Amino acid sequence: MASKKTAGPPKPSLSQIADEHRHLRETLERVEQATDLTALIPLLEDLRNQLEQHFAEEEAPGGLADAVGESRPRYQRHLDKLFKEHKSMLAATASIMERAQRVIDGLKAEILRDVRQLGHDLRAHEQTETELLMESVYSDIGSGD
């Protein structure tokens, strides 16, 4: 009777890994091209979600380590380093999102508050000018003896 090997988790195909990496690169390009923080934050959120899913798949049974296959022991140190980088990249993405939001919440709110104050000051200034002009016109009318 022939012995049957127990089937482990399926190995990811190289084309599947390449497709995921291509999709991540496309998302990263959109992130890098963003110049408006308000638009950048949702793009970073999308990138973070993709990275979380991608990294979880790579680190899970049947993931990157299994794709390396029989050569895994030789590359284990490299795999450990890559998996550690996953955590760093997710933390960096979260940090950028948080800092961008702080800028929006802080500087943007401060700028909008300053704009409202400028509007108030300009209206008050114009009202004072108008009152001065009106008073000077009306007070000059009766003083011609």
Q: Following DSSP, what letter does each residue of 23-67 receive, concatenated?
A: HHHHHHHHHHH---HHHHHHHHHHHHHHHHHHHHHHHSTTSHHHH
Number of domains present in the structure of the chain: 1
Q: Is residue 74 part of a domain?
A: yes
Contacts 24+ apart (CB under 8 A), 90-93: 90/48, 90/51, 90/52, 90/55, 93/44, 93/47, 93/48, 93/51
Q: Is residue 3 part of a domain?
A: no
Q: Is residue 5 part of a domain?
A: no
Q: Is residue 136 part of a domain?
A: yes
Q: What is the pLDDT of residues 36-73, one digit of tens each?
A: 999 999 999 999 999 999 999 889 888 888 888 778 88
Q: Is residue 43 part of a domain?
A: yes
Distance CA 74, CA 36 (A): 45
Range of the domain at 58: 14-140
Q: Is residue 117 part of a domain?
A: yes
Q: What is the pLDDT of residues 92-107, one digit of tens each?
A: 999 999 999 999 999 8
Q: Is residue 4 part of a domain?
A: no
Is 0.75 topped by the overall pTM? no
| Position 122 pLDDT exceeds 90 | yes
- CB 37 within 8 Å of CB 104: yes
Q: Is residue 7 part of a domain?
A: no
pLDDT at 44 (0 to 100): 97
